[in-house]
Amino acid sequence: MASTFPTAPDKHTLEHGETLSPRFDANGLIAAVATNADSGEVLMFAWMNAEALGLTLATGEAHYFSRSRGELWRKGATSGQVQRVVEARIDCDQDAVWLKVLPQGDGGACHTGARSCFYRVIKDGKLVERP
């Protein structure tokens, strides 16, 4: 399992190298954003530890780390909203991952039942629900 990762030796290698060298934070986590591979909609924001990132890359299904539960979490394990990963990207300084996914099950991603976790627009300082 690719659940340990090297550290980039310098900034140039970090930003332009071909070695995956994620920079986990003090809690061992890296940010992850999932978008719908078809529509481009941002579905959710979550965290991954090294194991979650390794499992995501190895299985092609999104795994995250729940900070509130303190445990690895295979997205959809209970909800059925498994996320098939079409493409995984990492950003310039390797502290954020972008997953393009195809949501399975009912096609949703949010525990509230919404299709995306970002179901509220900030409008004149208030939150307005929008599909």
The answer to whether residues 50 and 58 touch, using CB atoms and an 8 Å cutoff, is no
Contact between 69 and a copy of itself per CB under 8 A:
no
Contact between 92 and a copy of itself per CB under 8 A:
yes
Nearer to a copy of itself, 77 or 92 (CB): 92
Residue at 122: amino acid letter: I
Contact between 24 and a copy of itself per CB under 8 A:
no
The answer to whether residues 78 and 30 touch, using CB atoms and an 8 Å cutoff, is no
Contact between 120 and a copy of itself per CB under 8 A:
yes
Contact between 35 and a copy of itself per CB under 8 A:
yes
Report the residue from 61, 98, 104, 115 that binds a copy of itself according to the rule CB under 8 A: 98
Q: Which two three-digit tokens encode residue 40?
A: 């481009």
Residue at 72: amino acid letter: L
Nearer to a copy of itself, 39 or 71 (CB): 39
Phi first, then psi, for residue 47 (nearest 5°) are -120, 150
CA torsion through residues 109, 111, 115, 118, sign: negative
Contact between 125 and a copy of itself per CB under 8 A:
yes
Contact between 80 and a copy of itself per CB under 8 A:
no
Give burial (CB, 10 Å; 0-12/13-18/19+) of 69: exposed
Kindly list the residues in this chain that would bind a copy of itself in the complex (CB under 8 A).
Answer: 2, 15-20, 31, 33, 35, 39-42, 44-45, 57, 87-93, 95-98, 110-112, 114, 117-122, 125-130
